[in-house]
Amino acid sequence: RIGSATSVSSTIINNRLQELVKLFRERTEKVKEKLTDPDVTSDDESPTASPAKPVPAAAPVPPPAAEAEGDKPSGDEHYCEMLCCTFKYRPWLDRLKSYRFPSSIDPLTNLMYVLWLFFVVMAWNWNCWLIPVRWAFPYQTPGNIHCWLLMDYLCDLIYLLDILVFQTRLQFVRGGDIITDKKAMKENYLRSQRFKMDVVCLLPLDFFYFKVGVNPLLRFPRCLKYMAFFEFNNRLEAILSKAYIYRVIRTTAYLLYSLHVNSCLYYWASAYEGLGSTTWVYDGEGNSYIRCYYWAVKTLITIGGLPDPKTLFEIVFQLLNYFTGVFAFSVMIGQMRDVVGAATAGQTYYRSCMDSTIKYMNFYKIPKTVQNRVKTWYEYTWHSQGMLDESELLVQLPDKMRLDIAIDVNYNIVSKVALFQGCDRQMIFDMLKRLRSVVYLPNDYVCKKGEIGREMYIIQAGQVQVLGGPDGKTVLVTLKAGSVFGEISLLAAGGGNRRTANVVAHGFANLFILDKKDLNEILVHYPESQKLLRKKAKKMLKNNNKPKDEKGAPGDTLIIPPKADTPKLFQAALAATGRMGGKGPLAQLRWRLKELRAMQE
């Protein structure tokens, strides 16, 4: 009986067995996926956490009073008392002592080397900017000479450390190999032009101080370490996201430095002629550096309004200033134009393309609604990805680098597609390079019902809606970023690759598209993956059609609905009436049933 205890227990056992079978089946599928695709990770194989949980860096621990009762901290643990709690901290001094300087340095990617170059460039700028000032202006006095010498020898120490510690450890390329051997790196530096200039920079001309006094011009060779400055520029621009800003600042610094040197020369010329001796020289009033710098700006930029030179020396000096100013200022303007032009090259290209497209649409009198959509596409595509076509950027890179970028951008999405799970990993890599990015505007049709499907779509950003229903406008499902649709159409054959619904972009949508032609070209080299994909496509098509076969698809509505079967007892009575040839009610009913059956047929 249904309500008996035996029946209830057997039902529970049956349900439990079905659950176990389902779990075993799922585990078997996971094992199959793990064997076919090594990238698929299993939840069962994830490492378990250790029972002992480490104390965080700033996690409060019991105060010393509580530790006396319980466990005391071990000797290698360090604690710091703050307010009412004791915090565990790492001994930074010990970590600093245990630090080992690297035996070789990669000058292209090592940020520590870039930081060191910054200090070298700061020392170089100290010499370049302040040696002319100390030579021309009376800022170096016996009272502050020890401060100037302290900074000078600190810069010399930085120069010396750069030669002995860093330059001898720089890796280099020889015959295509990266050389990291200590002896080879040292020999490469000693044979380079950089080493010769570094030696000249540190010529010990300071010994002449004992004979001629502390003359800043004896430190002029320190300004020859310009190679470190240009190397620092290259390394810094490589790691900055907006390098053009630094280029503008550097070009401006060039102009300011030329004005700085000119102001120093003007004060020297004024002192040579005698301060205030003529109307052309500096009169010695006010801040000497500011006054001379103002004169240098008016001279180099050729503003005019300067007093006329009186002596031959003043005339020659002014002529040289004018010629140098015109040349330097024109060079600075040209370099600034190149920097700004390089920074806005992409924006200029975008404007050029948009203007050409608008001119074309106006020539052929395209409707304004279409023109507005085209303008919207240009603006959104440019602001969302910074370029109109990503392939233009990647085409300059070698094939291996394009593959690395495609893996980082698209592999996580493509690997989740059920159709490609278990396929050859290299086949997926080849497929990633064939993906192309397309932007759809709001309410744009990605694909329409009934059209031939030749692409697979992967949603990178945005949402799309699948429409259906009698009017074709009912939202059946909304697909978000990471979803995939149209994958069955890539492998369907025999007319089965027609779209079954309308797909519309809901807002702006960035999609990756894989063409059927590109996939077929790839599968030629991977026959095993091709067989697997064909098998999966048939299985997916069968699963999609299975609910319709079992439950019955909505077909055409019958004009006369089918009637229920006649009961067997009633059929026997009608048959007996026919054999007897009676003309009673049963005979008439039997005749009416024949008419209805004929009408139905």
For residue 340, the domain's CATH number is: 1.10.287
> Which residue, 545, 566, 591, sits at the end of a domain?
545
**Residue pLDDT, tens place only, 298-326:** 888 777 778 888 899 999 998 998 888 88
Same domain assignment for residues 257 and 324:
yes
pLDDT value at position 496? 54
For tokens 């008392």, what's the residue? 81
Q: What are the φ and ψ backbone dihedral angles of 65, each rounded to 5 degrees? A: -65, -40
Same domain assignment for residues 481 and 512:
yes
Looking at every residue in the chain, the average pLDDT score rounds to 79
**Residue pLDDT, tens place only, 369-405:** 899 988 988 888 888 777 777 666 677 778 788 788 8
Are the CB atoms for 486 and 456 separated by under 8 Å? yes
Spatial distance between the Cα atoms of 374 and 360, rounded to a whole number of angstroms: 12
Output the six-digit token pair for 366: 């395209």
Same domain assignment for residues 169 and 271:
no
Q: What dihedral angle (degrees, nearest 10) is formed by the CA atoms of 384, 389, 391, 397?
A: -70
Spatial distance between the Cα atoms of 416 and 587, rounded to a whole number of angstroms: 70
In single-letter form, the type of residue at position 373 comes to: R
Q: What is the 3-state secondary structure (H, E, C) of 361-376?
A: HHHCCCCHHHHHHHHH
> Which residue, 223, 239, 255, sits at the end of a domain?
239
**Residue pLDDT, tens place only, 180-190:** 999 999 999 99
Are the CB atoms for 508 and 462 separated by under 8 Å? yes
Residues 6+ apart with CB under 8 A from 356: none
Query: DSSP class of residue 436?
Result: E
Percent of the chain with pLDDT over 90: 28
Same domain assignment for residues 203 and 279:
no
Owning domain of residue 471 = 400-545
CATH number at residue 412: 2.60.120.10
Spatial distance between the Cα atoms of 501 and 478, rounded to a whole number of angstroms: 13
For tokens 């779990």, what's the residue? 23
Weakest-pLDDT range from 136-145, 409-418, 477-486, 539-548: 539-548
Q: What are the φ and ψ backbone dihedral angles of 475, each rounded to 5 degrees? A: -75, 110
Q: Residue 41: pLDDT band by 50, 70, 90 thresholds? A: very low
Spatial distance between the Cα atoms of 577 and 555, rounded to a whole number of angstroms: 39
Same domain assignment for residues 222 and 266:
no
Q: What are the φ and ψ backbone dihedral angles of 517, each rounded to 5 degrees? A: -65, -45
Are the CB atoms for 225 and 199 separated by under 8 Å? no
Q: Is residue 564 part of a domain?
A: no
Same domain assignment for residues 133 and 171:
yes
Q: What dihedral angle (degrees, nearest 10) is formed by the CA atoms of 103, 107, 110, 114?
A: 120
Q: Is residue 159 part of a domain?
A: yes
Output the six-digit token pair for 374: 């085209």
For tokens 């080493």, what's the residue? 195
For 211, 354, 500, the CA distances from 469, given in Å and listed in that order, are 101, 39, 12
Number of helices (H), then strands (E), belonging to the chain: the values are 21, 11
Is the whole model's pTM more than 0.85, yes or no? no
Q: Is residue 597 part of a domain?
A: no
Spatial distance between the Cα atoms of 127 and 219, rounded to a whole number of angstroms: 8
Q: Is residue 310 part of a domain?
A: yes
Per DSSP, the residues of 451-518 read SBP-EEEEEEEEEEEEEESTTS-EEEEEE-TT-EE--GGGT--TT--B--SEEEEEEEEEEEEEEHHH
**Residue pLDDT, tens place only, 241-297:** 888 889 989 999 999 999 999 999 999 999 998 888 888 999 888 899 999 999 999
Same domain assignment for residues 264 and 193:
no
Spatial distance between the Cα atoms of 260 and 130, rounded to a whole number of angstroms: 10
Nearest partner of 499 among 530, 533, 467, 539, judged by Cα: 467
Same domain assignment for residues 432 and 346:
no
pLDDT value at position 69? 42
- Partners of 509 in the beta sheet? 440
Output the six-digit token pair for 157: 């120490």
pLDDT value at position 548? 46
For tokens 């510690």, what's the residue? 165
Q: Residue 75: pLDDT band by 50, 70, 90 thresholds? A: very low
Nearest partner of 459 among 509, 507, 419, judged by Cα: 509
Q: Is residue 600 part of a domain?
A: no
Q: What is the 3-state secondary structure (H, E, C) of 395-432?
A: CCCCHHHHHHHHHHHHHHHHCCCHHHCCCCHHHHHHHH
Same domain assignment for residues 122 and 210:
yes
Q: Residue 408: pLDDT band by 50, 70, 90 thresholds? A: confident
Are the CB atoms for 468 and 476 separated by under 8 Å? yes
Spatial distance between the Cα atoms of 488 and 307, rounded to a whole number of angstroms: 85
Are the CB atoms for 139 and 151 separated by under 8 Å? no
Q: Is residue 3 part of a domain?
A: no
**pLDDT > 90? residue 95:** no
Q: Is residue 218 part of a domain?
A: yes
Question: Rounded to 5 degrees, what angle do the CA atoms 401, 403, 408 make?
Answer: 100
Same domain assignment for residues 229 and 351:
no
> Which residue, 341, 367, 388, sits at the end of a domain?
388
Q: Average pLDDT for residues 206-224, to the nearest whole number?
A: 92
Same domain assignment for residues 271 and 384:
yes
Same domain assignment for residues 372 and 267:
yes
- Calculate Rg over the CA atoms of the chain: 42
Q: Is residue 523 part of a domain?
A: yes
Per DSSP, the residues of 105-161 read B-TTT-HHHHHHHHHHHHHHHHHHHHHHHHHHSTT--TTTHHHHHHHHHHHHHHHHH
For 26, 122, 387, 403, the CA distances from 36, given in Å and listed in that order, are 15, 58, 39, 22
Cα 80 from chain centroid?
Answer: 41
- State how many domains the chain has: 3
